Amino acid sequence: MKRTKVTDALKCTSYGEQIVVKGWVRSKRGSKGIFFVALNDGSTIKNIQIVGDEAKIPEDIVKRITTGACISVEGRLVESPAAGQASEIQADSIEILGDCDNTYPLQKKGASWEYLRTVAHLRPRTNTFGAILRIRHNMAMAIHTYFHEHGFFYFHTPLITASDCEGAGNMFQVTTKNLYDLKKDEQGRILYNDDFFGEQTSLTVSGQLEGELGATALGAIYTFGPTFRAENSNTPRHLAEFWMIEPEVAFLDQEELMDLEEDFIKYCVRWALDHCQDDLEFLNKMVDKGLIERLQSVLNEDFVRLPYTEGIRILQEARKNGRKFEFPCEWGDDLASEHERYLVEEHFRKPVIMTDYPRAFKSFYMKQNEETPDGGSVGYKGAVAPGPTMQGTDVLFPSIGEIIGGSVREASYEKLLGEIERRQMDMTHLNWYLDTRKYGSCPHAGFGLGFERLILFVTGMQNIRDVIPFPRTPGNAQF
What domains are defined for the chain? Answer: 6-98 (2.40.50.140), 125-170+205-466 (3.30.930.10)
Q: With cut-offs at 50, 70 and 90, classify the pLDDT of residue 462.
A: very high
pLDDT of residue 167: 57
Q: With cut-offs at 50, 70 and 90, classify the pLDDT of residue 163.
A: confident
Q: Buried b vs exposed e over 467-476: b needs ≥16 C-beta within 10 Å?
A: bbeebbbeee
Give the residue from 306, 278, 303, 281 showing the smallest Cα distance to 291.
281
pTM, two decimals, is 0.94
pLDDT of residue 461: 97
pLDDT of residue 264: 98
β-partners of residue 449 are 245, 404
Q: How confident is the model over 58-82, as a mean pLDDT? A: 95
Q: How confident is the model over 54-72, as a mean pLDDT? A: 96
Decide: residue 376, CB within 10 A, 0-12 exposed, 13-18 middle, 19+ buried: middle
**Confidence check: pLDDT of 168 > 60:** no
Give the residue from 129, 101, 118, 140 showing the smallest Cα distance to 42.
129
pLDDT digit string, tens, across residues 131-150: 999 999 999 999 999 999 99
**Confidence check: pLDDT of 63 > 60:** yes
pLDDT of residue 107: 82
**Confidence check: pLDDT of 109 > 80:** no
Task: Give just the sign of the alpha carbon dihedral 106, 110, 111, 116.
Answer: positive
Q: Which residues, at least 6 apart from 88, have a Cβ–Cβ distance to it below 8 Å?
A: 48, 49, 50, 51, 77, 78, 80, 82
- Which helix (H) or strand (E) is 432 found in, with range? helix 431-438
**Confidence check: pLDDT of 123 > 60:** yes
- Tell me how far apart the alpha carbons of residues 386 and 402 are, in angstroms, rounded to a whole number: 24
Q: Which residues, at least 6 apart from 474, have a Cβ–Cβ distance to it below 8 Å?
A: 232, 233, 234, 240
pLDDT of residue 427: 83
